[in-house]
Amino acid sequence: MAHKSSRRLRSPTTEAPAARYTLMALAFLFLTLFLLLPLVAVFIEAFRKGTAEFLAAFGDPDTLAAIRLTLLVAVIAVPLNLVFGVAAAWAIAKFEFKGKAFLTTLIDLPFSVSPVISGLVYVLLFGAGSVLGPWLKSHGIEILFAVPGIVLATIFVTFPFVARELIPLMQEQGTGDEEAALSLGASGWQTFWYVTLPNIKWGLLYGVLLCNARAMGEFGAVSVVSGHIRGLTNTMPLHVEILYNEYNFVAAFAVASLLAALALVTLIVKTALELHYGAEIAAGRKH
Amino acid sequence: MDVSVKNLRKEFDRYPALHDVSLDIRSGELIALLGPSGSGKTTLLRLIAGLEQPTLGSIHFGDEDASHKTVQERNIGFVFQHYALFRHMTVADNIAFGLTVRPRGERPPKAEIRRRVSELLEMVQLSGLEKRYPNQLSGGQRQRVALARAMAIEPRVLLLDEPFGALDAKVRKELRRWLREFHDRTGHTTVFVTHDQEEALELADRVVVMSQGKIEQVGSSDDVYDRPNSPFVFSFIGDSASVPVSIVDGSVRFRGDEIGVAAPEGDIVSGEATLFFRPQDVAVVTDPSAPALEGRVVTSRRLAGTRIADLDIGGADDPLHVEIEVPLDAQAANGTSIRFRPLRFKLFAK
């Protein structure tokens, strides 16, 4: 029967062109308004008074101290969370034990709790009024309003990234490869190093990248435990706030643009990884 | 290397996967663990390998009690169902893995490892594929790489879990024959798990038939096919029909009527029993006065060189279907009646 119409040829899951374009336009409009414009604004504000002023902002010793502190915190927090994350993911994906569901929930805790609360927890734990406070003080150990507190709060907030990335990946890969390595005489450590780690490397890198972005950008939790001592306990996000409150807009946005650039680089590397990592996963699934 | 398993029991979360299993595997033997899924065959293989620890019982390699040895110490070659090749390593690195992870003192020099790898590749007929990655190989090639990798450590026993399970029918048949030749050449004690009876019967020196965590029968292909020792083995291996019968003074009766079959001497003299026979082991009875089983043809189908008739021997009120082979030229139209008598059969008391 010659009863053809364009309606019939359309794939069953595709909507009418009008509906498609409306949805796409809405999505683009929303993204532009709420994500792209603010990002562009940050850079415009940073360069409002020219490149010289922009660069001058980085001559300030307090700004440099903030950048150094942020890097230091990331350098400590990210490797620790890499190790903790791999250990937790390994335990959850490859072993059966009591309290596994509890551990899985616990890993997600930093995501479900407000960062401010995460910071307050440390104030309650180590503050002057706490049980540990006087003891720490008498031994001359400073945690709160010092670098250790900032590191602890950052570790807490960024803990889930690596673990969450690895758990589904390791669960899907199962224990077959590890069993094969063990049956060939490899020790547990060799098995991890030569078999497990190469199998999860892309997922791991992806998790570390997200963990790092958050570690450098964290505001809430760090703000509570930092004490905002200029040149000592101010990280980049905290420093941006201080500069902004002092009406030093160019400097504030200059530092902010650095954080924004970090976010952009993370995004680009993440996309590149996804392309690579996607192919890798597909290859892994073939056998 | 002889392997003997003594009174092995394995429980997973208190659910027993193996009950009191004992088995002696002779040196150089090719043995199949055959059973439906959930029969405990893979569990038994993994226990021998040391990938699982038994709840009770012991495993001996030769005279040595291996029960408390780790999988690394047992020095076994294990080929996994999905091969578990290391996807980020080349074929050569996969095969060399067992040698390269050895402690420095025992590790062969690099040139020696390379020589061993090319020797093994030649043995599994994959020379020239050293640099390939597992995802660049076909299923049959992966299977052989997995085997070469397991052989590299010069294992005392070779254990294969569903070695042909993931391959298509044609490759499976080729590899089956190839594995048999490979075994005859290397002479390794080999145990493989399969749910495919054809594979087990064709390939193995001895077949271990398992069901529900127990060994039902151990024997050659002829033993388990021609002389099954339990109703399970009779119905699991090959096609068969089973008929509930009663025996009176050595004469077998179906629903009270004699069927022209006598219980063999020394077998059951009287009582309830189940009569098992294979579709091809029957004779059609033409004499209407001779005792026989009688059934109405429900369907019949041509199967290669034979004709199989599905008969209802119970009648409309209480149907009981059996399949028998009938001559190609036999009248086997639907609804017609056929009288037959099993020539070779086995009776199992209820």
Backbone phi and psi for residue A264, each to the nearest 5 degrees, phi listed first:
-65, -45
Average pLDDT rounded to a whole number, residues B208-235: 94
Which chain B residues are Cβ-neighbours of A190 within 8 angstroms?
A: 101
In chain B, whose CA is at the least distance from the CA of A193?
B101
CB contact under 8 A, A179 and B142: no
Give the model confidence (pLDDT) of A61-119 as tens digits.
999 999 999 999 999 999 999 999 999 999 998 888 888 889 889 999 999 999 999 89
Tell me how far the alpha carbon of residue A240 is from its chain's centroid.
Answer: 19
Select from B51, B101, B135 the Cβ nearest to the Cβ of A184: B101
CATH code of B241-349, in short, is 2.40.50.140
Q: Please report the sign of the dihedral spanned by the C-alpha atoms of residue A236, residue A239, residue A244, residue A247.
A: negative
Q: What percent of chain B has pLDDT over 90?
A: 73
Which chain B residues are Cβ-neighbours of A184 within 8 angstroms?
A: 97-98, 101, 149-150, 152-153
Q: How far is B135 from chain A (nearest CA, A)?
A: 6
Select from A180, A185, A194 the Cβ nearest to the Cβ of B102: A185
- The 8-class DSSP code of residue B147 comes to H
Neighbours of B341 (CB within 10 A): 17
Count CB pairs under 8 A between chains A and B.
69
- The 8-class DSSP code of residue B190 comes to E
- Among A36-45, A52-61, A272-281, B188-197, whose mean pLDDT is lowest? A272-281
pLDDT band at B41 (very low <50, low <70, confident <90, very high): very high
Which chain B residues are Cβ-neighbours of A199 within 8 angstroms?
A: 87-88
Reduce the DSSP state of residue B107 to 3 states and report it: coil
Burial class (CB in 10 A: 0-12, 13-18, 19+), B243: buried
Q: What percent of chain B has pLDDT over 70?
A: 100
Select from A176, A183, A286 the Cβ nearest to the Cβ of B71: A183
In chain B, whose CA is at the least distance from the CA of A180?
B84
CB contact under 8 A, B87 and A183: no
Give the model confidence (pLDDT) of A241-281 as tens digits.
999 999 999 999 999 999 999 889 988 988 887 787 666 65
Select from B78, B101, B134 the Cβ nearest to the Cβ of A287: B134
Mean pLDDT of the residues in chain B: 91
Burial class (CB in 10 A: 0-12, 13-18, 19+), A215: buried
- The 8-class DSSP code of residue A30 comes to H
Instruction: Please say whether the beta carbons of A217 and A112 come within 8 A.
Output: no
Three-state helix/strand/coil letters over B246-285: EEECCEEEECCEEEEEECCCCCCCCEEEEEEECCCCEEEC
Encoding tokens for residue B237? 């291996």
What pLDDT, on a 0 to 100 scale, did the predictor assign at position A278? 67
**CATH 3.40.50.300 segments of chain B:** 3-236
Q: How far is B25 from chain A (nearest CA, A)?
A: 20
Q: Cα(A248)–Cα(B174) distance, rounded to whole angstroms? A: 79
Among the listed residues A236, A90, A77, A70, the one whose alpha carbon sits nearest the alpha carbon of residue A156: A77
CB contact under 8 A, A186 and B71: no
Q: At B216, which amino acid appears?
A: E
Reduce the DSSP state of residue A20 to 3 states and report it: helix
Q: B3-236 sits in which CATH class?
A: alpha beta
Residues of B with CB under 8 A from a CB of A: 49, 51, 71-72, 75-78, 80, 82-88, 97-98, 101-102, 134-135, 142, 149-150, 152-153
Q: Is the pLDDT of residue B40 over 50?
A: yes
Instruction: Please say whether the beta carbons of B347 and B245 come within 8 A.
Output: yes
CB contact under 8 A, A176 and B135: no
Q: Cα(A88)–Cα(A160) distance, rounded to whole angstroms? A: 10
Q: How far is A157 from chain B (nearest CA, A)?
A: 33
CB contact under 8 A, A190 and B101: yes
Q: Cα(B81)–Cα(A180) distance, rounded to whole angstroms? A: 11
Burial class (CB in 10 A: 0-12, 13-18, 19+), B161: buried
**CATH 2.40.50.140 segments of chain B:** 241-349
Select from B102, B142, B152 the Cβ nearest to the Cβ of A287: B142
Give the model confidence (pLDDT) of A119-156 as tens digits.
998 888 888 888 888 888 888 888 888 899 999 999 99
Select from B77, B82, B97 the Cβ nearest to the Cβ of A287: B82
ipTM: 0.85
pLDDT band at B169 (very low <50, low <70, confident <90, very high): confident
Mean pLDDT of the residues in chain A: 88
Burial class (CB in 10 A: 0-12, 13-18, 19+), A146: middle
Q: What is the pTM of this model?
A: 0.82
pLDDT band at A1 (very low <50, low <70, confident <90, very high): very low
What pLDDT, on a 0 to 100 scale, did the predictor assign at position A8? 62
Which chain A residues are Cβ-neighbours of B87 within 8 angstroms?
A: 199, 283-284, 287
